[in-house]
Every structure is written in structure tokens, then in C-alpha cells.
Amino acid sequence: MSAAALPPALLCPPVAATGDAVPPALTHSTRSPNPPPASDLAEDFEHLFAQLRTYLKPEDVDQIEAACHFSASAHRGQFRSSGEAYISHPLAVAETLAYWRLDAQALTAALLHDVMEDTAITKAQIAQDFGKVTADLVDGVSKLDRLENQSYEEAQAENFRKMLLAMAQDVRVILIKLADRLHNMRTLDAVRPDKRRRIARETLDIYAPIANRLGLNTLYREFQELAFSNLNPLRYRVLAKAVKSARGNRREVVGKIIDSLKERLPAQHIEAEVMGREKHLYGIYRKMRDKHLSFSQVLDIYGFRVIVADTPACYLALGALHGLYKPLPGKFKDYIAIPKANGYQSLHTTLIGPYGMPIEFQIRTRQMHHIADSGVASHWLYKDERALSELQRTTHQWLQSLIELQTASVDSAEFLEHVKVDLFPGEVYVFTPAGKILSLRRGATAVDFAYAVHTDIGNRCIACLINQESMPLRTELADGDRVEIITAPNAAPNPHWLVFVKSGKARAQIRHFLKTKQNEQSAALGKHLLAQALHGLGHRIEELGSSAWQRFLKAFSGKTQREVLTDIGLGKRLPATVARRLVGDKVIDEQTLQSGGAIRIKGSTDMAVQLAHCCRPIPGDPIVGVIRAGQGLVVHTHDCPTLRGGRKEWVDVEWDPEVSGPFEVLICVVAQNATGVLARLAVTIAEHGSNIANVRMDEGEGATTALYFTLQVDSRAHLARILRNLRRLPTVTRIIRIKENPPHHH
């Protein structure tokens, strides 16, 4: 591509060529409104296309050149906040992808990634000129149109969902987006301060973890540094100054370590390249913040990397280092035998160096070093490497898990919340009974493990064995634990699990199961309520033809029949209104409103039916039901003081003969102050088959004490037996069943 072939709109700052996994920042400042001379830019673009010719076919380079012209023409007259021609941005994005040696489709999409958002160009036009795959990549990176009445957060969550689901189909979508975000972060000074902070926060929360999850370590570190410098500019400058001043003091130590390594490793017949490196400012800042340290207390601001020829040499080098300096116990990690989820492999060890200073060493092969920087992007460079096929496999599994999360999530915000949880790297390595290693988040429990194995295992788990010992499902797992999950065919997730699970998959699947179960039960309840309303109009629900439902759905709802029944069960629609519209009647004759059969309450676990907390009904109590919007059917005792309105709002309900408990009931026992009174009461309650869920004591002013027991009983008759036996105790003066929460005395 010659300088003469470049259209005027293509003139933008070049990117210097280096061997890094991520190209360095632009050599010409993108923050100045004065662009560099056109002759320099043409020369630099010649270099870019020369680089593309080193690994792409001539016809691919021609396609990328055509995309350059197409993009330049589409963006003509548009400028960035820095004052530069807009085309400088897509070209900088393409430059990063060229360093990752991505294919022609990805580079073409990078050059066109903003045309659908910012110009009149359509996806169909891109597909016609550059192919369907390229058009899909551009569409995956493009934002959705903002809807009216939609907040920025809602719109952004929708955009992330669209992008991440596109990424699940083709990982190149996110590689283009990461390169796009990299250039935006490098040129953030040209943006107003509030927007700068928002973009930096988003990068730290979403894009940096994604880069890490895909194994793009160099990009991950740069994102963190750039975000830190924009979110906390003062802290960044102070820390940078402190590190610079400490550099001089520690130069002698670093030099001494490198000299001793260069002497020791060859003596052990190990060929190695040794690099000293300063730790990133964000890493130092996070360590100071998390461990409440001052800068002077952070001793390991330097680390060393030892690059060797092959895997056996890694372990030989480790032995040589441990012979040279003493290792810190518990600070050795073997990521070669057990790679990280993102494919990262290395030996990590911390040694006590000269003057008692702790020093971190990373030992790896050259190929491991390349994967640590390029991650999944290196797939396009080394297509046949066995280690990389494993990386591709784990990446594919993660991308598929995003589709599972999407299926289980209610909306975009919930989906994004689950993805954020799973983006933080796995820290705990545990074993299945078959010896397979699973990587989970630090703090993960046996339930997280069950869902990591398979959704069905999670949904049906009832107990677990950790290292062959029976343990609670909420037990946090530790490195090396061997976990076995015990399941039962009819088991179901417990809502209480949401309190302690750590993984996004577990959280999403539990919520999805509970929501689905609630909707099934609400639909069944809604059908029963609708049958009652139709009975009152002289119709039977079984007689309704499909044409009546089709007319109703078309005219009034836009939903499915099942969704309408669910809405009725949840109290979002009145059954009488739906019944009238289904049969075409305009007026209800009050005299004909007769019950179509009372709804039977089967137990306390029905998610579509709730037992009111204000009066705590138990089997045997006379009850009524009231439909509450969003809650479904709420069951009260017939004399509950909170019931409002007339009988027209009530729904006929009755206890099922096969009702199953337990049900919670609150009683107050007034007893004399005496030694062991609580123990005697508890023993009597336990003897009659009741469990005490909670107990609270209010000391009276005289010789008595009020004890509030929350008991679990099967029925009103069961409660009567317990109360009868409690009254026989000589210390008990009075017992009352309480149908509302007692006041707290302080």
C-alpha cells in the first residue's frame, strides 16, 4: 500500500513495531489536536501493511486495504475528542490485532467496527462487500440503539449481554472489543473527567477481567494501570514517585541477584534468560489497600522471570534457585502441572534474597511465556500446538457457560452480575472422585462444585463428602480437596443456598430453578382461580375453545396462555376480568358468583402460595386467601386483623387432608424465674415431636419471665398437645399463641 494510495482521511498516528503481545502506545500523541505530518503517517502505514504481508495471503491484505478505504470514506468528516480524524481509531485497533496476528476477517472487522454505529452503513452492506462472517463480527461489537425510558446502566447491561453472547459464538468479537477499549483507554485524556472515570471503572470491572480470563496477561496489566491512573490520579502519581525513588536504592540488590543467577544456572547446566521486572503500580496499590500496608512495608516491588528451553528445565531451575536462596514456606505454586483456567503456566516461588528481602520468581518456557502474554489470541499463530488446543477447549467451555448464564438469567442486569462474579480467576483447585481437577473461585462451596460438574448435579444435590468425610453443603473448599456430591432424584435447590454460593453459574441456575418452579405453581393456581371466575359466569374452563383464547391473547395481552395464567396466580391480573373477556360478557351478576371449589393448601413449601407472617396460619385454623400483586395467593387466618376490604376480595381456600408441614407458630410462655426453667420447657417441647426454630427471653419486672418460642408443628392439634403438656409444668403461669411478631424490649 503506497502513500499515494492512502486517502486523506487515513492520515493518523502510527503504532511503533515491537515484539510485545500488545503494541506500545502510539508514538505520535493522540491527545493533541495537531496531527503529525502526512508523509510520516504514510510511511508508518507502509510498515503496518508490510507486517501484515509477513503472515497473511496477498488477497487477504488486499481485502484489508479495501476495508481501509471503505472505513475512511464512511468516517470522512468525523473527528475524535482529541481533534484527530476518526479513522485513526479503527486503524489503531487493527494495529493491535496485527500484533496478535489475527486473520483477515478480524482485521477487516476491526477497521469497520464503528461504521454501523456512527454512519449510515448497514450490516447488509458490510456483508455484501466483505462477507457475512465479517458483518457478524462488526454487529457483535456494535452497540444497540438506546431505547426510550432506558437508563444508561440498563442500556449498558444490554450491550454487554449482546457482546458477550456474540463472543460465545466467535471469540474474535471480544478480541476486537478489547483492542478497541485499549486504544480508548490510551487516549482517555481527551475525554471529559466524569466520562473518563466511568470508562476507567468499566474497564477495571469488565474488560480487564475478560482479558485475564482469555489469558491476555500483558493487556490485562495495561488495563489495570490505565484504569488506576484515571480513577485515582493523585494516588497513582504519588505511588509512581515512591517507586521511582526506591528504584535507585534497590538497584544494587537487583544487580546482585541477577549476577548470582547468571552464575548459578549455567553451573547447573541450565540455559536460561533472566529478566528483572518492576511490579505494576496497580498491583502494589492493591496489596497496600488489601493488607493495610504502607509503601515502605511492601518489600517485593521487584520480581524476576526465568525463561528456559523446556518443562524439565523449569523444575531444574527451581531446584537451583532453592539452593541459592531460602524459599518462603507456603509460597510455591505449580501452574505447570495444574494450569490456570486461562491456560497460564508457570512455576511461582518466593525466596528470601539479599538483606532479607522477599523476591518473587516466575519460571517458564518460551512457549509458556508467549501464551501468558497472548493467551487465546495465540490460537491464530500456533494452530497445531497440543497445549493451545487445551487452552482453546477451556476457553470454549467458558464461552458456553455464558450461554447457560443467559438462559438462566431474568434480564441483562442479572446476566451481567453473574458474568462479573465468574470473571474473577479461579483460585481453588479441587478434585472430582474420578481425579479430574476443577478450578473454582476462592470461597467456593460444595454447592458451587456441584453446579460446576453439571447443572443437574447441582439441582439434585442433597449432601457431600469432602475428603471422604460427610460435610455440610455450605462448606468452603480448599486446595486439593476431593469432593463427592450425593444426589436424590426428587431433590430441588434450596433458596437458602443463594446466601453462600460464590459462582455465577450456581447463583443463576438456583434462581432460574426457583423462578421456573414458582411460575409452574403460579400457572396452576391461576388456572384454578380462572376456573372459579368462569364458574361464577356459568361457564366451565374445559369448555373454552382455542379460538376464545386466541381472540383474548391477540386483543388484550400479547402473551401466551401460560403467561396469562401465571399472571393471574401472581396477582398481576384479576381472574374475573380475564374470565369476562374470554366469554365476551360485560357485566357480572353478583348473585351468580359461586365458588368453583375451594383451593386446597397442601403445605408450607408451595411457592405460589404464601402463609401470611402477620397471623401465621397452621393446619386446623379457619383460613381465607387474598390475591396480592406480585405475591400470588396469601393465606391468612379468618380473623386476621390485617385483612382489609370485604369478602369480594377473598378466595375460598381450605387445608388439604394430606397437608405436610412443618409450620412455624409463635407462642409466649410466662414462667416463674427459676433455675433450669428453659431446659425443662425445651425438653417438654422436644418430647412431643416439635423443633424449636428460635427462642427469645424478656425478663419481667417481677418474679416471672416471658419466653417467646418459634415452634415447628404439623397442625393445630399438634400445637394443642404441646400447650397442654407445657401447662402441666408447675413453673408455667400462662401460655398464649401469638399471631403477630412480639415487640422487642431493650
What gap in Å lies between CA 502 and CA 425, rounded to an integer? 12
What gap in Å lies between CA 6 and CA 68, rounded to an integer? 9
Under the banding of pLDDT at 50, 70 and 90, the label for residue 226 is very high
Annotated catalytic residue 701: no
**pLDDT digits 0-9 by tens, 599-641:** 777 665 555 677 887 888 888 888 888 877 656 678 888 878 7
pLDDT at res. 627: 73
Mean of pLDDT values over 86-91: 84
pLDDT higher than threshold 80 for residue 680: yes
Residue 618 CB burial class (10 angstroms; 0-12, 13-18, ≥19)? buried
pLDDT higher than threshold 90 for residue 227: yes
Measured over the CA atoms of residue 433, residue 434, residue 439 and residue 440, the dihedral's sign is negative
pLDDT at res. 147: 53
SS3 state of residue 51:
helix
CATH of region 234-380, choose from 3.30.460.10, 3.40.50.2300, 3.40.50.300, 3.10.20.30: 3.30.460.10
pLDDT at res. 364: 93
Under the banding of pLDDT at 50, 70 and 90, the label for residue 558 is low
Taking residue 477's Cβ as centre, other Cβ atoms within 10 Å add up to: 24
pLDDT at res. 9: 37
- The phi-psi region of residue 144 (left if phi > 0; otherwise alpha if psi is between -120 and 50; otherwise beta) is beta
Candidates 618, 654, 664; CA nearest to 633 is: 654
Asked if 79 and 72 touch (Cβ cutoff 8 Å), the reply is: no
Under the banding of pLDDT at 50, 70 and 90, the label for residue 646 is low
Measured over the CA atoms of residue 334, residue 337, residue 343 and residue 347, the dihedral's sign is positive
Catalytic residue among 43, 62, 118, 699: 118
Highest averaged pLDDT of the listed ranges 285-294, 410-419, 588-597: 285-294
What gap in Å lies between CA 99 and CA 118, rounded to an integer? 26
pLDDT at res. 5: 44
Record: fold of 663-738? Alpha-Beta Plaits (3.30.70)
pLDDT higher than threshold 60 for residue 541: yes
Taking residue 7's Cβ as centre, other Cβ atoms within 10 Å add up to: 13
Of the listed ranges 299-303, 329-333, 652-656, the one predicted with least confidence:
299-303
320-323 long-range contacts (CB < 8 A, ≥24 apart) are 320/264, 320/265, 320/268, 320/270, 321/261, 321/264, 321/349, 321/351, 321/361, 321/363, 322/349, 322/351, 323/264
Amino acid symbol at 136: D
Highest averaged pLDDT of the listed ranges 53-67, 384-398, 566-580, 650-664: 53-67
Cis omega (within 30 of 0) for bond into 662? yes
Annotated catalytic residue 118: yes
pLDDT at res. 530: 82
pLDDT higher than threshold 70 for residue 593: no
% of the chain residues with pLDDT over 90: 10
Of the listed ranges 363-367, 432-436, 738-742, the one predicted with least confidence:
738-742
SS3 state of residue 189:
helix
Amino acid symbol at 467: N
What gap in Å lies between CA 219 and CA 209, rounded to an integer? 10
Cell 374470565 belongs to residue: 579
Classify 389-510 by CATH class.
Answer: alpha beta
Under the banding of pLDDT at 50, 70 and 90, the label for residue 244 is confident
pLDDT at res. 390: 64
pLDDT at res. 391: 64
pLDDT at res. 638: 82
**pLDDT digits 0-9 by tens, 367-396:** 888 877 777 666 554 444 444 456 666 666
Under the banding of pLDDT at 50, 70 and 90, the label for residue 513 is confident
Taking residue 258's Cβ as centre, other Cβ atoms within 10 Å add up to: 14
pLDDT at res. 146: 52
Of the listed ranges 182-191, 309-318, 411-420, 515-524, the one predicted with least confidence:
411-420
pLDDT at res. 24: 59
In this structure, what C-alpha cell is assigned to residue 71?
472505513
Under the banding of pLDDT at 50, 70 and 90, the label for residue 274 is confident
pLDDT higher than threshold 70 for residue 44: no
Candidates 351, 337, 589; CA nearest to 479 is: 337
pLDDT at res. 37: 44
How far is it between the farthest Cα atoms of the chain?
A: 107
% of the chain residues with pLDDT over 70: 76
Under the banding of pLDDT at 50, 70 and 90, the label for residue 735 is very high
Strands 732-738 and 663-672: antiparallel
Catalytic residue among 43, 117, 271, 699: 117
Q: What is the mean pLDDT of the chain?
A: 77
Name the residue with higher pLDDT: 35 or 159. 159
pLDDT higher than threshold 50 for residue 17: no
Residue 81 vs residues 87, 182, 196, 616: alpha-carbon distances, Å: 13, 16, 12, 63
pLDDT higher than threshold 60 for residue 31: no
Residue 169 vs residues 126, 137, 191, 449: alpha-carbon distances, Å: 19, 10, 33, 26
Of the listed ranges 141-150, 199-208, 670-679, the one predicted with least confidence:
141-150
Asked if 553 and 564 touch (Cβ cutoff 8 Å), the reply is: yes
pLDDT at res. 485: 92
Give the helix ranges, DSSP H, for 204-276: 208-213, 217-231, 233-267
**pLDDT digits 0-9 by tens, 388-441:** 456 666 666 666 666 666 665 556 666 666 666 556 556 678 888 888 878 788
Mean of pLDDT values over 558-562: 75
Residue 508 CB burial class (10 angstroms; 0-12, 13-18, ≥19)? buried
Domain residue ranges in the chain = 8-231, 234-380, 389-510, 511-659, 663-738
Asked if 447 and 458 touch (Cβ cutoff 8 Å), the reply is: yes
SS3 state of residue 302:
strand
- CA Rg, the chain, in Å? 34
pLDDT at res. 409: 56
Q: Torsions phi, psi of 331, nearest 5?
A: -110, 20
Amino acid symbol at 581: R
Q: Does domain 8-231 have CATH number 1.10.3210.10?
A: yes
Q: How far apart are the first and last CA of the chain?
A: 83
What gap in Å lies between CA 341 and CA 486, rounded to an integer? 26
pLDDT at res. 346: 92
Query: Per-residue DSSP letters for 625-662?
Result: EEEETTTEEEEEETT-TT--S-GGGEE-EEEEEEEE--
